[in-house]
Structure 1
Amino acid sequence: MASLQGNKDCYALVLLIIVSFYTTHADGEKIGVCYGMLSDSLPSHNEVVTLLKSNIGKVRLYEANRDAMQALKSSGIEVIVGIGNNELEKIAGDQGAANGWVNDNIKAFYPSVDIKYIAVGNEVFANRAYVSYLLPAMNNIQTALSNANLQNDIKVSTPHATSVLNNSYPPSQGTFGEDISSILKFLSDNDSPFMANVYPYFSYKDNTDSISADYALFRSMSTVVNDGSLMYNNLFDAMVDTFISAMEKLGHSNIPIVITETGWPSAGNVVATVDNARTYNNNLIKHVLSNAGTPKRPGTTIDTYIFALFNENQKGGDEEERHFGLFETNKTPAYTVFSSPESSRSLKVVYIYLTVV
């Protein structure tokens, strides 16, 4: 979502580089790779786990695919298991259905599969048909985890699109356009993170007259947005802090945030180029692993997933949607991704995002 840049040696090593980012932090398990499945020619779950398990620490599944879960058994990979939007109504309306889902998809694999989060739905507020089911489904899944005595081990959340925001500029004035106060209370009460999909690419693409490429691609060396005492030189931080400001305005200043998707396409639009994609993802990695945090939360590394591992030829929408991958499906690199040269210790983890249809 796609030509190799670099020399022949880089070509041979690029996969290892991608799954072996470096960091100076023993717990630097913050950068993720989203592994989408909307293609007609992908490796099997077993092949992917076998290929990457020596380097991977965390995996996200959009839905509880039993073949993927089976492949992850005893892999040492930490897992986020998703519940599809089309499952929300049933789970919201029936505690027994929620209990059954947890029994079939969590208890059946845990702890052999190291499950950390359950992501209930995805960008639900972007599709009004499912909104009324979201919180009841989250509550029922939480109760099911408690019934299984897993509530302290596995946390429940739901990923949000940036469209859930109303005002987004400057970051300190961020507000939610949707009433998600009950969702935030749920997260706070259960020590769960707020999950957000953050794409500077789309903000830049739609506003090239007012947003500079340097600001969107982490290339600006000076302040671009002066927001009172907070200074921003990249759009990613500004977008993340907008979510944090919006949560603060509803009385929730301490909920951690996980960026469940971010990335840049290498084709399909005039600003979707190999150079821009490579620049964004490399600079994102350096920024996240630097532990610089954001102006509102300095010194705090934010778990961040890069979308995506493969280009996906069956993905819907505009052409760019099919070109976010770091790799073609035959494992040919779309472009090289390098870690920060000054880093010194290998990262223990890469996230893989398995999109199941």
Structure 2
Amino acid sequence: MSYREGYYFKKTGYSQKSVLGVDLAKHSLEELKNLWRKTLNEGLHGICFSMYEDGQRPGDDISMEQVERRVKILKPYVGAIRSFSCVEGNEFVPMMAKKHGINTLVGAWLGDDKEDNEKEIEGLIKLAREGFVDVAAVGNEVLYRNDLSLEELVQYISRVKEALSGMDIPVGYVDAYYEFSRHPILVESTDVVLANLYPYWEGCPIEYALGHMQAMYGQVVDAAQGKPIIITETGWPSQGGGLRGAIAGEEAAMKYFIDTMRWTKENDIPIFYFSSFDESWKVGPEGEVGAYWGLWDKYENLKYS
């Protein structure tokens, strides 16, 4: 069995093994930290790559050396790394991942600037032809942000699929889980369904978050028409406030990570956890909470150790 069949894709019907979440009332903080570290040390299918140090943000050119340093930090824990762009140093992410024996899900960032989109699409095709791409993602939450029309997005997806024809590289599109129910053409136009699942951003209290994520995943299964599914993002912030019943915090972040890893491993669901490192630049777009989604802090130190 090839890596792509065995590692990324689960092609069987939808059925879940029951997984109980961690009961925070039954664990001391130190016990929870030990369980979190044990879970991390057992390894992740994949993780979303955080590019930017303090003082950096999208638009800055990031060096290959910085990317490789961070890839090497992640290497002992992950089988695959997801990148979000193919320009401004982001192209080094799949290059360095492959150098260190890590698989890749490589994204082209699409927005409302057509010239920038051209650079991203050409960059993704180039990386794929050079052997750095295991799965190609054409756009991330484009419909969620209303940056492109559905028709424009599908044209980009079709263009990449045609360019990579015969290369055995699955092509997908990343968005919030419900977009695939709303727009069946997204499923029809892709090889793999790439879904983001965030109970936090729907205001779900941590004690119900695992069940809510499972329900989200079930909706994706219903929409996927039998095609393979990858959870491309899910996570919980370690500080920064809250959204209705969802409260950021260390205990909640550890519980969510442990519960998510147990459930996806028990059910053989491929997942890219969000995220690797805290990034200060996200305070603006997402509020204070945006800067605290990493398993490592912004200084590249592992949290909760």
**TM-score, length basis structure 2:** 0.73
Are 1:156 and 2:156 matched, yes or no? no
Q: 1:269 to 1:243 in 2, by over 3 A?
A: same
Q: Which residue is 1:260 aligned to?
A: 232
8 Å CA contact retained: 2:112, 2:147: no
What does residue range 43-62 of structure 1 map to in structure 2 within 5 Å?
44-62=66-84
Q: 1:138 to 1:236 in 2, by over 3 A?
A: same
- What is the alpha-carbon distance in structure 2 between the residues aligned to residue 235 and residue 102 of structure 1? 33
8 Å CA contact retained: 1:84, 1:121: yes
Q: Which residue is 1:36 aligned to?
A: 50
- What is the alpha-carbon distance in structure 2 between the residues aligned to residue 39 and residue 74 of structure 1? 22
Aligned residue pair count: 258
- What is the alpha-carbon distance in structure 2 between the residues aligned to residue 79 and residue 128 of structure 1? 27
Q: Which residue is 1:185 aligned to?
A: 188
Q: CA deviation at 1:183?
A: 1.9
Q: 1:50 to 1:281 in 2, by over 3 A?
A: closer
What does residue range 122-141 of structure 1 map to in structure 2 within 5 Å?
122-131=140-149, 132-141=151-160
Q: Which residue is 1:215 aligned to?
A: 208
Extract unaligned runs of 5+ from structure 1: 23-29, 166-175, 206-211, 219-233, 292-300, 337-357
Are 1:67 and 2:71 matched, yes or no? no
Q: 1:52 to 1:332 in 2, by over 3 A?
A: closer
Q: CA deviation at 1:161?
A: 1.4
What is the aligned-residue RMSD (CA, Å)?
A: 3.2
Q: CA deviation at 1:202?
A: 2.0
The sequence identity of aligned pairs, in percent, is: 24
- What is the alpha-carbon distance in structure 2 between the residues aligned to residue 154 and residue 33 of structure 1? 19
Are 1:79 and 2:104 matched, yes or no? yes
8 Å CA contact retained: 2:240, 2:288: yes
Q: CA deviation at 1:88?
A: 8.0
Greater Cα radius of gyration, structure 1 or 2: 1
CA-to-partner distance for each residue in 1:85-106, whole Å, 9 max, x for gaps? Answer: 13884698x8x996x5455322
8 Å CA contact retained: 1:91, 1:137: no
Q: 1:89 to 1:105 in 2, by over 3 A?
A: same
Q: Which residue is 1:309 aligned to?
A: 276
What does residue range 217-236 of structure 1 map to in structure 2 within 5 Å?
218=210, 234-236=211-213
Amino acid at match of 2:143: F
Q: CA deviation at 1:333?
A: 3.0
What does residue range 310-349 of structure 1 map to in structure 2 within 5 Å?
310-315=277-282, 316-335=285-304
Q: 1:263 to 1:54 in 2, by over 3 A?
A: closer
Q: 1:70 to 1:33 in 2, by over 3 A?
A: closer
- What is the alpha-carbon distance in structure 2 between the residues aligned to residue 103 and residue 32 of structure 1? 22
1:241 pairs with 196, 202, 218, which one? 218
**TM-score, length basis structure 1:** 0.63
Q: 1:199 to 1:73 in 2, by over 3 A?
A: closer
Amino acid at match of 1:107: R
Q: 1:47 to 1:142 in 2, by over 3 A?
A: same
8 Å CA contact retained: 2:125, 2:160: no
